[in-house]
Protein backbone atom coordinates (compact mmCIF):
# COMPACT_ATOMS: atom_id res chain seq x y z
CA UNK A 1 0.00 0.00 0.00
CA UNK A 2 0.94 3.65 -0.09
CA UNK A 3 1.21 6.13 2.72
CA UNK A 4 2.28 9.71 2.10
CA UNK A 5 2.22 12.23 4.93
CA UNK A 6 2.47 16.00 4.94
CA UNK A 7 1.58 18.62 7.53
CA UNK A 8 -1.99 19.78 7.04
CA UNK A 9 -1.38 23.48 7.32
CA UNK A 10 1.48 25.96 7.65
CA UNK A 11 1.70 29.71 7.98
CA UNK A 12 4.55 32.02 7.08
CA UNK A 13 5.28 35.67 6.50
CA UNK A 14 5.90 37.39 3.18
CA UNK A 15 9.63 37.38 2.34
CA UNK A 16 10.39 34.46 4.65
CA UNK A 17 11.51 30.89 3.87
CA UNK A 18 9.30 27.87 4.52
CA UNK A 19 10.03 24.15 4.32
CA UNK A 20 7.23 21.67 3.67
CA UNK A 21 8.08 18.09 4.57
CA UNK A 22 6.78 14.90 3.02
CA UNK A 23 7.37 11.34 4.21
CA UNK A 24 6.33 8.35 2.20
CA UNK A 25 6.05 4.60 2.35
CA UNK A 26 5.12 3.14 -1.02
CA UNK A 27 5.22 -0.27 -2.63
CA UNK A 28 6.90 1.17 -5.70
CA UNK A 29 8.96 4.31 -6.17
CA UNK A 30 9.96 5.96 -9.40
CA UNK A 31 10.26 9.60 -8.50
CA UNK A 32 8.71 12.23 -6.27
CA UNK A 33 6.87 15.30 -7.51
CA UNK A 34 5.73 18.52 -5.94
CA UNK A 35 2.67 20.33 -7.24
CA UNK A 36 1.09 23.63 -6.27
CA UNK A 37 -2.68 23.87 -6.27
CA UNK A 38 -4.81 26.94 -5.75
CA UNK A 39 -8.36 26.28 -4.59
CA UNK A 40 -10.55 24.99 -7.40
CA UNK A 41 -7.70 24.99 -9.91
CA UNK A 42 -5.50 22.33 -11.45
CA UNK A 43 -2.28 21.18 -9.78
CA UNK A 44 0.72 22.91 -11.32
CA UNK A 45 4.02 21.05 -11.62
CA UNK A 46 6.81 22.51 -9.47
CA UNK A 47 9.62 19.98 -9.20
CA UNK A 48 10.71 16.41 -9.63
CA UNK A 49 13.29 14.29 -7.79
CA UNK A 50 14.25 10.75 -8.67
CA UNK A 51 17.78 10.70 -7.24
CA UNK A 52 18.87 11.73 -3.76
CA UNK A 53 19.80 15.36 -3.33
CA UNK A 54 18.63 18.86 -3.93
CA UNK A 55 17.00 20.23 -7.08
CA UNK A 56 16.82 24.00 -7.31
CA UNK A 57 14.45 25.91 -9.53
CA UNK A 58 14.29 29.63 -8.88
CA UNK A 59 12.63 30.35 -5.54
CA UNK A 60 11.69 26.68 -5.15
CA UNK A 61 13.99 23.80 -4.18
CA UNK A 62 13.15 20.19 -3.51
CA UNK A 63 15.16 17.57 -1.68
CA UNK A 64 14.89 13.79 -1.67
CA UNK A 65 16.30 11.04 0.52
CA UNK A 66 15.15 7.68 -0.79
CA UNK A 67 16.66 5.71 2.08
CA UNK A 68 14.66 7.78 4.57
CA UNK A 69 11.51 8.03 2.47
CA UNK A 70 11.67 11.77 2.90
CA UNK A 71 11.39 14.88 0.79
CA UNK A 72 10.95 18.56 1.39
CA UNK A 73 9.96 21.56 -0.68
CA UNK A 74 11.71 24.81 0.20
CA UNK A 75 10.12 28.08 -0.78
CA UNK A 76 12.23 31.22 -0.51
CA UNK A 77 11.29 34.90 -0.60
CA UNK A 78 7.68 34.06 -0.01
CA UNK A 79 5.06 36.07 -1.85
CA UNK A 80 1.37 36.42 -1.13
CA UNK A 81 0.59 34.48 -4.31
CA UNK A 82 2.39 31.47 -2.84
CA UNK A 83 -0.63 30.91 -0.58
CA UNK A 84 -1.88 27.59 -1.92
CA UNK A 85 -1.90 23.88 -1.25
CA UNK A 86 1.31 21.99 -1.93
CA UNK A 87 0.95 18.37 -2.94
CA UNK A 88 3.67 15.78 -2.61
CA UNK A 89 3.15 12.90 -5.04
CA UNK A 90 5.05 9.67 -5.54
CA UNK A 91 5.18 8.08 -8.94
CA UNK A 92 4.25 4.44 -8.59
CA UNK A 93 7.06 2.31 -9.89
CA UNK A 94 4.90 -0.07 -11.83
CA UNK A 95 2.65 2.05 -13.94
CA UNK A 96 3.67 5.67 -13.47
CA UNK A 97 0.48 6.89 -11.87
CA UNK A 98 0.86 9.53 -9.18
CA UNK A 99 -0.11 8.81 -5.61
CA UNK A 100 -0.73 12.08 -3.80
CA UNK A 101 -0.21 13.03 -0.20
CA UNK A 102 -2.86 14.85 1.75
CA UNK A 103 -1.47 18.24 0.76
CA UNK A 104 -0.19 21.13 2.87
CA UNK A 105 -2.16 24.35 2.87
CA UNK A 106 0.26 27.27 3.10
CA UNK A 107 -0.95 30.67 4.16
CA UNK A 108 1.38 33.60 3.55
CA UNK A 109 0.59 36.71 5.53
CA UNK A 110 1.91 40.28 5.07
User: Minimum CB separation from another protein for residue 98, in Å?
Assistant: 6
What's the CA gap between 37 and 41, in Å, rounded? 6
Residue 24 as a binder of another protein (CB under 8 A): the answer is no
β pairing state of 104-109 and 84-91: antiparallel
Please provide the size of the chain in residues: 110
Under rule CB under 8 A, residue 40 binds another protein: yes
Please, are residues 46 and 103 in contact by the beta-carbon 8 Å criterion?
no
Asked if residue 87 binds another protein (CB under 8 A), the reply is yes
Residue among 56, 97, 107, 109 that touches another protein (CB under 8 A)? 97
Q: Does 3 bind another protein (CB under 8 A)?
A: no
Q: What is the largest CA-CA distance in the chain?
A: 44
Interface residue list for another protein (CB under 8 A): 33, 35, 40-45, 48, 87, 91-92, 94-103
Amino acid sequence: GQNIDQPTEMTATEGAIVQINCTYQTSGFNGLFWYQQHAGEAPTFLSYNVLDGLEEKGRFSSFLSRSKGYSYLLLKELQMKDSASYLCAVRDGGFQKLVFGTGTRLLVSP
